């Protein structure tokens, strides 16, 4: 912990805590409830240690684990009105803190794959934001692509919050979407193993810098018998510099105090490097008001449903490959 994340917060400072939750080894639905109980206990204990805490964030899969053989069956899923989500709500209300939690959510359409979901719960115990992962990690994750877009909600201390999940953070387009909707704090919850440790930090920085917003990101930590998860909660300033960086320790709490108003002022007052504004007002010195015409082929093609990279016909892996040779398995768990 550094001076940017003390036990107290300034009146306009958003005090955040990123919990490097130990990767849970989940063998069946009976292992979910102990995680929920532990997460709620952690909310209370962290708030006790940091009395001015505004926002606490838990990684992806901290509730239901990463067992690819069972994680998409009905018994492993939690709806937003489940008792377990009710516990998360009560924990936030009791601690007077906002929280970010991960659940695997059943699909509204019978027979479709479930969603990988993040929720932001406010300090009154109400769901302030509901997000479904837009870019599931192929060819491994069996989740249905999110259908709620990139929502943004008003948070504490003048913050405007958006959340993305793990692989989402590798897409600069999603961070830009959040910023375009006004987010000044971009939250990323992840369950990555060590293969992409460096890329994790790089993209956290670029997501912040390219959009003049804070990024706060936390990953699972520890070993589950197959992979090691790197933790390394990262807090990036709106200029892309790292304010706080966790280590690889399970249960490490990475704290930082953010000032959303400063990000807002950068967006309104900066001329140099105000890239999110300049994108849509190209060359406003040479052409007063700037050129507002779309010049990006991929934007046009995506909007028209014609997105097609030049090497698309040569891409080899287009399905579940070795993980799901028969496709994703949904519905009740086999007896």
Q: Kindly name the residue from 166, 177, 236, 257 that is annotated as catalytic.
A: 166
Joined tokens for residue 122: 């406010």
pLDDT at 23: 97
Q: Kindly name the residue from 40, 47, 60, 164 that is annotated as catalytic.
A: 60
Active site residue 133: yes
Query: What's the predicted TM-score (pTM) here?
Result: 0.97
pLDDT at 6: 78
pLDDT at 326: 86
Q: How many CB atoms lie within 10 A of CB 53?
A: 25
Tens of pLDDT along 217-254? 999 999 999 999 999 999 999 999 999 999 999 999 99
pLDDT at 166: 97
pLDDT at 8: 84
Give the fold, CATH level 3, of 3-273: Nitrilase/N-carbamoyl-D-aminoacid amidohydrolase (3.60.110)
Distances (CA, A) of 242 to 46, 54, 325: 23, 20, 41
> What is the Rg, in whole angstroms, of the alpha carbon atoms belonging to the chain?
20
Q: Kindly name the residue from 89, 92, 105, 133 that is annotated as catalytic.
A: 133
Give the residue ranges of the chain where pLDDT is below 50. 1-3
pLDDT at 2: 40
Where do runs of H (alpha helix) occur along the chain? 32-49, 83-95, 172-180, 197-209, 260-269, 275-278, 297-303
Dihedral angle of Cα 313, 316, 318, 324, to the nearest 10 degrees: 160
Query: Which H or E run contains 118?
Result: strand 115-121
Beta bridge partner(s), residue 127: 121
User: Which residues 6+ apart lie within 8 Å of 31 measured at CB?
Assistant: 24, 25, 65
pLDDT at 16: 97
Give me the residue spans of the domains in the chain: 3-273
User: Which residues 6+ apart lie within 8 Å of 301 measured at CB?
Assistant: 307, 308
Return d(Cα 322, Cα 327) in angstroms, integer: 10
pLDDT at 4: 62
pLDDT at 3: 45
pLDDT at 323: 87
């Amino acid at each position: 912990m550094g001076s940017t994340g003390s036990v107290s917060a300034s009146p306009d400072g958003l005090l955040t805590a990123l919990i490097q939750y130990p990767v849970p080894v989940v063998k069946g639905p009976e292992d979910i409830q102990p995680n929920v109980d532990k997460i709620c206990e952690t909310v209370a204990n962290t708030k006790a240690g940091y009395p001015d805490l505004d926002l606490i964030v838990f990684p992806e899969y901290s509730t239901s684990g990463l067992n690819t053989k069972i994680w998409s069956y009905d018994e492993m899923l939690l709806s937003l009105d489940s008792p377990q989500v009710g516990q998360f709500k009560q924990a936030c209300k009791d601690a007077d803190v906002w929280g970010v939690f991960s659940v695997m959510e059943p699909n509204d359409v019978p027979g479709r794959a479930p969603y990988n979901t993040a929720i932001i719960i406010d300090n009154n115990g109400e769901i302030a934001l509901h997000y479904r992962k837009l870019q599931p990690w192929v060819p491994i994750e069996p989740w249905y692509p999110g259908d709620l877009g990139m929502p943004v909600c008003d948070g504490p201390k003048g913050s405007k919050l958006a959340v993305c999940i793990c692989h989402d953070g590798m897409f600069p387009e999603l961070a830009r979407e959040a910023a375009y909707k006004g987010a000044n704090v971009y939250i990323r919850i992840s369950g990555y193993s060590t293969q992409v440790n460096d890329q994790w930090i790089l993209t956290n920085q670029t997501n912040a810098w390219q959009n003049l917003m804070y990024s706060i990101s936390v990953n699972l930590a520890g070993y589950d018998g197959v992979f090691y998860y790197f933790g390394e909660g990262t807090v990036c300033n709106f200029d892309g510099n790292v304010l706080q960086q966790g280590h690889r320790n399970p249960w490490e709490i990475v704290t930082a105090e953010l000032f959303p108003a400063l990000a807002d002022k950068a967006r309104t007052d900066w001329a140099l490097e105000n890239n999110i504004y300049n994108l849509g007002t190209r060359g406003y010195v040479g052409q007063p008001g700037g050129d507002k015409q779309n010049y990006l082929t991929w934007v046009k093609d995506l909007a028209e449903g014609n997105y097609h990279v030049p090497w698309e016909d040569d891409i080899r892996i287009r399905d579940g490959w070795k993980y799901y040779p028969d496709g994703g398995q949904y519905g009740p768990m086999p007896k």
